[in-house]
Structure 1
Amino acid sequence: MKQIIALFITTFLLGIGSLYAQERVVKGTILGDDQLPLVGATIMEKGTNNGTTTDVNGLYTIKVKGDAILVVRYIGFKETEINLGTAKSFDVTMELDQLEEVVIVGTRGAPRSDADTPVPVDVVGTKELAQTGQLTFDKALQYKIPSFNTVQTPVNDATSLLDPYEIRNMGPSRTLILINGKRKNLSSLLYTQTAPGRGETGADISAISTSAIKRVEILRDGASAQYGSDAIAGVMNIILKDDADYGSIQLNTGITSEGDGESFGLALNNGINLKDKGFLNYTIDLSKVYLANRPGTVNAEGDAFDFEADLATVEEFLSRKPDAGNINGSPETTAAKFLVNGGVNLNASSQLYFNAAYVYKKVNSFANYRTPYWRTVADMPYLADFFPAPGTPNGYDGYVPTFEGELNDYNATVGFKGQTNGWNHDVSLTAGGNSQVYTVSNSHNRNKVLAPATWVDENNNNVVDDGEVTQDNQLYRENSPVTFDVGGTAFNHLVGNLDISKRVVPSLSIGFGAEFRTEVFTVIEGILASYDGGGADSFAGNTPENSGAFNRYNLGGYFDLAWDITDNFLVNGTIRGENYSDFGNTFVWKLSSRYKMMDDKMTIRASASTGFRAPTLHQIYTQKAQYSFVPGQGIQVGGLVNNVSPQASLLGIPQLKAEKSTNLTAGLGFKPNSNFSVTLDYYNIAVEDRIVLSTEISGTEAGDTPLDQVLEDNNMSDVSFFVNAIDTRTSGIDFVASYRDLPLGTGFIGLNLSGNYTIQNEREGEVKNPKLVEDAGQSVVNATQEALFFTSRPKTKWIFGVDYSISKFNVAVNNTYFGKTTFKQQGLDENLRTEFTPKIVTDLSVTYNATEKLTIAANINNILNVLPEWKFVAENEEGQKLMDSKEVTASGLTPIEDQSNLITFNQRYSQMTYDGSHFSQLGTLFNLSVNYKF
């Protein structure tokens, strides 16, 4: 028995000794393909949970058993397996994975590949942007991202400087724009015209040069918990080029098929290698686009009726100017853009980084032409002297006020990032601003404002002689200037960020940080003549009482946890709290998850989050008189009353509060190989207390209410204001599929199909009207507003592209399907609506790589010359009767012709109506570019 026990003990001890003999410590270094250490690479013992990460020098140490196999992973590089055998040290140089996109947006922990994120992220490279042939960044995205839309406004004064854009039908203010992961400043422009985007503002992405962009990451998911306000619909992160060894210069030119809209551009991008110290990349982009004019043929009967003019007089004028002198379309635009991106390595584990941009843009646009029967010499005899037209009746033929806008936009970030004891830290300061000032020329102040004589009598008293109204004591009219500095707006912010993260263990990473932001919105006063008595004809200047600087600050903090429960199962959670100086606190959260199966070929992902959007300073403090087109009444003066004014108090308008949102997404991805991928994502966004710019509230029949008094005291036909008026729900599906590098003949073909379909986009519950508006029998949201919010963007949009590369050539054909949009224009009969007909716009791109350095590209956009087309649709039987009626109305036209004139200003905007369309009315555009690399 003793011998058996002794044998057992001996065998056990030998086994233990053998087991320990198999354990060993393995050390090594993980390097990138540039032979620089990779910090934070994960090293796992295959088939176990045993793992570690590399330090700031790329070094690792791990204890393994037996003939272990190590798996090394690092974002952007191909996964590498190491069969150790009996080795106790092993160095690895990892190979760059050209097929895997690394995305920064959507996580506050370690970056992940686009196939590894728990939320949908689109990644668009600079080559894809250039391939669209579009002149600006926002228009390039329009033809690459189905859920991204931007409206083409025919002419809307200040909105000619930039067009409204949005993701998932949520308005421009609900998409957060980042540059290299840092918040970009908002534009100072507030959209107030009756067009999609009304009442909102957003960052001016059209100001960013595509030549400076490396790639764009678009997170199609709510992300307020991670990034703060404005991220309800998603986040766009613009990554600037960081190439230090190469550069390029590009010349481009273009023209429309009508022979106008000529464009010329020169863009230089270059990199400077600072040896081991870092890099510098800079871009200079200069461009000029000339006017492209697409006016409609004006209806004489409609104009005669609206302006109570003699039909023969109108017909005589239109015989000479069938378009009534209107200038609609794409304005003349001059732009200069300067960008720089750089980094300086302070040591092996820390870097000083910086980027900056400055953009100058000048736009020459036009107001509606003032015809001689609209502004008459009978009412204003001096017009024949101001705007002489020899050879025409009365020597006067009307005039067209010009609208000249100057935009300055800048942003700059400086920061420090590094690693200490495994903790990644990033401290940065960002400054940004946007200013827009306007000049109205070829106009006049037609208002009667007197300057009575003043003198001192024998008793030394001031005496005013009201006397008779004469040319001499008129401040304006005969004595009016014809050019007016009408003021403008400015916005700037200062943002401080602190972000800290660490991969605590290979499967768990945490991140936390804080942000401080101060914002200032400034309304710039116009000269006296621009606003006095009603101001310049076409665009009144900002008055002193409505001008000034308005500011606020906020402080926010977040905590993020990402846990790879297994290699396939990820859970990511984020919480955030913010405090605003003007409306208090908010708390939001986000939870997302991803599960991979079928050897990582299939991914299931989902997220749930709450969000918020703070009212912008523009929405809180803007107050102005504004000219706008009122169907059937021509141009009228209305008033926008801000929420902190005495008028708002009198009207009982509540102060604004933050919007709240709930965002749900669920999707799946299939990637059987590196060339083929398909993703399908469902989203559902509920917004509570959505901020809207109300419809124009007019006076009551009684005429004796506080509302009537405000209108009378301010000489306004109506009043509008911002209010948390509605709750909304938006849901839909995003689909993306691509197959690249498919052999065909001696070349390779690529296919891509992507689309967005809106399932639901509507108001939930009743409109929250202030009592005064409710008592007047009106609503802050009418049918026109509902259409702008919910049906003015395409219900569905699809993009199908094919590109073929062979030898030195690449040919790409892109087809963009714009689905149906529906409007209920202001003044339109309640029994009718208008629909823009679905259209397919086809673009052709041909690229020839003449040498390794020289590339020539030709683009024909809208090759089939497809134009926007709309039609009336009856809402009911009464609407159909209206459409079928041939009865002649007071204007001498049929009822449906009257309705058409109402929404097009008597056919001045016949192609797009007064609300704009989702693709250009300019027709076919030809572009040619030559790029030389050095």
Structure 2
Amino acid sequence: MKNTLGYALICLSISTAFAAQDADEYYQLPLEQLLQVTTQAKAQVGSRGDKRNALDAEVPIDVISAAELESSGHTSLISALAALVPGFNAPAPSIADGTDHAPPFTLRGLNPDQVLVLVNGKRLHQSSLLHNNGTVGRGSSSVDLNIIPLDAVSRVEILRESASAQYGSDAIAGTINIILKGYGQSSQARMHYGKTSKGDGEHKQASIFHSVPLSGDGFINLTGAWRDRGRSNRAAADTEDGGRINTRFGDADTQDGSFLLNAELLQGDTTLYSHALYNRRLSNAGAFFRRADSEQNIPELYPDGFLPKIAPKITDYSFSGGAKGILSDDTHWDLSYTHGHNDFHFYLKNSLNASLGRISPTSFDAGSTDYTQQILNLALSKKIGLHTLSYGYEWREEHYRINAGDSASYVQGPHPSAGGSQGFPGFGLANEVSQRRQTHSIYGDLNYRLSQRWTLDTATRLDHSSDFGSTFSGKLALRFRPTDTLLLRASLNTGFRAPSLTQSHFSYTGSYRNSADPAPTLWGNFAVDHPVSRALGAKDLKVEKSTHFAMGLVFEPAANLTASVDGFITDINDRIMPTAYISADSVPTAKSTLKQYDIDGAVYFTNAIKTRTHGVDLRLDYSHELKQGATLKFRSGYQYSKTRIQSINPPSTVLGNNAENVVLDSFSRVLVEQGQPAHRFNLRSTYSTRSYDLMFNLNRFGAYASTLDHYKVGFAAKWTLDAELAYHFDQSLTVALGGVNLFDTEPDTWEDSGYPRDPADKVVPYSQYSPLNFNGRYIYMRAHYKF
């Protein structure tokens, strides 16, 4: 930590050394230069009142502009934020079933489902996919940020603070509020093309944004986007298969089509508003290769072996509509309805069901998962002198479904081989489920101005759910400005995350064939209320509850220089995790239960552990006006966050003497405590003139650890550098050339870490946990035209 903290402090010292203009000097500027002055970023997240300066808030907030997202060189929102925001982690999964096609992200080293995502302040639905393999985010369902086209985004606000007292479940690690482009935007078209230095991973993207101004400040904004991301492959040669590269380890081959509407219409004192989103994704990625002589293969169908390909079709749509206005007593009101849906439909290509023999199909419909969310919200807010009182009511319904696939995708045929489609056995009739949850919430928020320099912000929320009962959350935040250049802040709040319907009701079964046993053996991931899970000690899942404390300061010695530091501690009780694989070998006391249900082993979800995450955030913003209208800007950030397991919840006695290792095995411990980098540093610099912009983005991804054969393996920290030169031919046309990871930095391989492996395992060179994409250097061009 000392080295990286030193880098951040050096950058702070260098930037502070620049002579800064006093704010009063802006009054002396001519109109042409005054129009180019940039003010503090505004943010609405974390407050029920009007948006305010992000740096003047009681809690830490990052604001990422549309220009920063565009010049990052990335075509997806997740990748762009991972490049720009310390503490935002988005590893690139591969050979991880559905996770390859809808990757998760995290904040502050916590879980993907402990982050709340809003669009224009309205909750965005989660994906129905459960990340169920050995990736960061295992055992969770997350929001798929990549369904939102970059051209529709005005800014992204990231609240680095627990906010359950304001927004409800999930907002433990933080809240992301995506603000869509509104009034006064220019219509524009954009094209992007790029590929890696190794010649693969080709990216093609085209988008158009059209804005129609209406009377007053009304508008209708339409965004259409198409993105084609070609696959990349970093798998090594298989020495046991003639030295050929037969596996795909890299980005999935993905095509996205997106449409987004954002509109406001003024009707007297009332504003009608809505935003709607539709995204359709076709994706294709490989599973593990099946060699020609494998018992999983049928040589008559695949004489040279085969690579099963998981090719899901994913559909997301969302709609929010409402009205807002001001009553006669100056009470602001906002009534809205939100509907969101995700359908994740699994298809298999180039596969087979070995238990069906030669008559097996080679393509399968493996079933689907669906998630639907509906929200009705009434929010009221009133100024009382210098104070603001906000309160409201919210109703939310969730619906989760698993739908069976074709029978050939899961059936056990007459041949003594593992049943089901290879690569991903389909959901069977026994896995089908349809479960709903309704939650009613009332909330209140009081921003109280104790004096001109002291502000107290309080919030409370009571949620009552149809399945887990009632939960109360509270927040207390204090802001003190002893001088005009210094702000001190502290906050204490409680939060919660309801167990997702996927965690409570996910069910997935399959079979494998042990070479020592001629008959296939069944295994399963069972819902917590399934008889197998109950017999093995499962109980209904409880709510995860958190306590968050933070203290920090913001120092603004000049209008163009701001530095902030915030420390935090987050305790989470009853964190939900999947158990280790419960078999007769690992848990002898479970042998009779497993035999009774004729299965080899089982996994279920449980409230497993208590954790503490502590850390510090440093931020620095500096800008300097140069001659002839040129501007130099620096933005740097550093985050340290470390999670420790404090205790393991008492496991069921059914699991015997080894129960704690079943609830928390070595794999899960390393994933929670060291699977994500504790340190992350970012320095972004931009030099802008009327003719061109030159951007450099320097990142340091900290060290992390993974597991292999139950052994912990460490991986070193890495530096990367991105750069872009954008030339403005006129006020309408901009053409840019850039590179991501210009020095072609690669994460450590397993061998680099010093861990020896069997030659058969070397086809996969990198850990799934790598925060650095393993594609290497990526070069791109983009064109941006306003009309």
Q: TM-score, normalised by structure 2?
A: 0.91
SS at match of 1:106: coil
SS at match of 2:70: helix
- The alpha-carbon deviation at position 268 of structure 1 amounts to 0.3
CA contact (8 A) 1:835 1:873 kept: no
- The alpha-carbon deviation at position 706 of structure 1 amounts to 4.4
- The alpha-carbon deviation at position 675 of structure 1 amounts to 1.2
Partner Cα separation in structure 1 for residue 591 and residue 64 of structure 2: 51
Partner Cα separation in structure 2 for residue 193 and residue 807 of structure 1: 49
> Structure 1 residue 725 and structure 2 residue 608: aligned?
yes
Relative to 1, partners in 2 of residues 1:364 and 1:518: Cα closer, same or farther, differing over 3 Å? same
> Structure 1 residue 766 and structure 2 residue 623: aligned?
no
Where does residue 773 of structure 2 map in the other structure? 920
- The alpha-carbon deviation at position 548 of structure 1 amounts to 2.5
Where does residue 735 of structure 2 map in the other structure? 856
Which residues of 2 match residues 570-581 of structure 1 at below 5 A?
A: 570-581=455-466
- The alpha-carbon deviation at position 245 of structure 1 amounts to 5.3
Where does residue 3 of structure 2 map in the other structure? none
- Report the residue type matching 1:541 in the other structure: G
Where does residue 56 of structure 1 map in the other structure? none
CA contact (8 A) 2:109 2:678 kept: no
CA RMSD of aligned residues (A): 2.4
SS at match of 1:293: coil
SS at match of 2:669: helix
Correspondence for 1:283 among 223, 229, 246: 223
Kindly provide the CA deviation profile for residues 472-503 of structure 1, in whole angstroms up to 9, marking residues without a partner as x: xxxx2122111110001010110011100001
- The alpha-carbon deviation at position 794 of structure 1 amounts to 0.7
- The alpha-carbon deviation at position 520 of structure 1 amounts to 0.2
- The alpha-carbon deviation at position 95 of structure 1 amounts to 10
> Structure 1 residue 413 and structure 2 residue 313: aligned?
no
- Report the residue type matching 1:153 in the other structure: P
Partner Cα separation in structure 1 for residue 586 and residue 559 of structure 2: 69
Relative to 1, partners in 2 of residues 1:527 and 1:843: Cα closer, same or farther, differing over 3 Å? same
Correspondence for 1:331 among 252, 273, 276: 252
Where does residue 98 of structure 2 map in the other structure? 158
Where does residue 478 of structure 1 map in the other structure? 358
CA contact (8 A) 2:104 2:143 kept: no
Correspondence for 2:701 among 814, 818, 831: 818
Structure 2: gaps (5+ residues): 1-22, 25-33, 413-418
- Report the residue type matching 1:369 in the other structure: F
Kindly provide the CA deviation profile for residues 415-468 of structure 1, in whole angstroms up to 9, marking residues without a partner as x: 110001210000000000111101112211112xxxxxxxxxxxxxxxxxxxxx
SS at match of 1:774: helix
Kindly provide the CA deviation profile for residues 270-306 of structure 1, in whole angstroms up to 9, marking residues without a partner as x: 10012237211110001111111111233x4xxxxxx
Correspondence for 2:764 among 903, 909, 913: 909
Which residues of 2 match residues 545-556 of structure 1 at below 5 A?
A: 545-556=430-441
Where does residue 344 of structure 1 map in the other structure? 265
Partner Cα separation in structure 2 for residue 871 and residue 286 of structure 1: 36
- The alpha-carbon deviation at position 774 of structure 1 amounts to 3.4
Greater shift, 861-870 or 111-120, is seen at 111-120
CA contact (8 A) 1:225 1:588 kept: yes
Where does residue 279 of structure 2 map in the other structure? 359
Partner Cα separation in structure 2 for residue 611 and residue 248 of structure 1: 41
Correspondence for 1:440 among 344, 348, 354: 348
> Structure 1 residue 754 and structure 2 residue 672: aligned?
no
- Report the residue type matching 2:349 in the other structure: S
- Report the residue type matching 1:346 in the other structure: Q
Relative to 1, partners in 2 of residues 1:590 and 1:163: Cα closer, same or farther, differing over 3 Å? same
Relative to 1, partners in 2 of residues 1:637 and 1:272: Cα closer, same or farther, differing over 3 Å? farther
Relative to 1, partners in 2 of residues 1:810 and 1:97: Cα closer, same or farther, differing over 3 Å? closer
Relative to 1, partners in 2 of residues 1:510 and 1:647: Cα closer, same or farther, differing over 3 Å? same
Partner Cα separation in structure 1 for residue 217 and residue 748 of structure 2: 57
Correspondence for 2:47 among 95, 98, 107: 107
Correspondence for 2:581 among 685, 696, 703: 696
Correspondence for 2:391 among 512, 521, 529: 512
CA contact (8 A) 2:532 2:597 kept: no
CA contact (8 A) 1:539 1:626 kept: no
- The alpha-carbon deviation at position 619 of structure 1 amounts to 0.3
Correspondence for 1:622 among 501, 506, 526: 506
Relative to 1, partners in 2 of residues 1:407 and 1:701: Cα closer, same or farther, differing over 3 Å? closer
- Report the residue type matching 2:260 in the other structure: L
Partner Cα separation in structure 2 for residue 386 and residue 712 of structure 1: 37
CA contact (8 A) 1:366 1:401 kept: yes
Partner Cα separation in structure 2 for residue 700 and residue 356 of structure 1: 52
Partner Cα separation in structure 2 for residue 782 and residue 907 of structure 1: 25
- The alpha-carbon deviation at position 385 of structure 1 amounts to 2.7
Relative to 1, partners in 2 of residues 1:189 and 1:707: Cα closer, same or farther, differing over 3 Å? farther
Where does residue 318 of structure 1 map in the other structure? 242
Higher RCO, Cα 8 Å, sep 6+: 2
Kindly provide the CA deviation profile for residues 681-727 of structure 1, in whole angstroms up to 9, marking residues without a partner as x: 00100000111112222214896x545543674544x3211000100
- Report the residue type matching 1:415 in the other structure: G
Where does residue 186 of structure 1 map in the other structure? 126
Correspondence for 1:643 among 525, 528, 536: 528
Correspondence for 1:147 among 87, 100, 107: 87
Where does residue 235 of structure 1 map in the other structure? 175
- Report the residue type matching 1:326 in the other structure: T
- The alpha-carbon deviation at position 155 of structure 1 amounts to 2.1
Correspondence for 1:503 among 380, 383, 388: 383
Partner Cα separation in structure 2 for residue 105 and residue 824 of structure 1: 38
Moved over 6 A (4+): 94-97, 627-630
Kindly provide the CA deviation profile for residues 311-354 of structure 1, in whole angstroms up to 9, marking residues without a partner as x: xxx4xx324x1x3x11110111000010010011010x210100
Partner Cα separation in structure 2 for residue 711 and residue 328 of structure 1: 37
Percent identity between matched residues is 28
- The alpha-carbon deviation at position 97 of structure 1 amounts to 8.4
> Structure 1 residue 261 and structure 2 residue 173: aligned?
no
Q: TM-score, normalised by structure 1?
A: 0.77
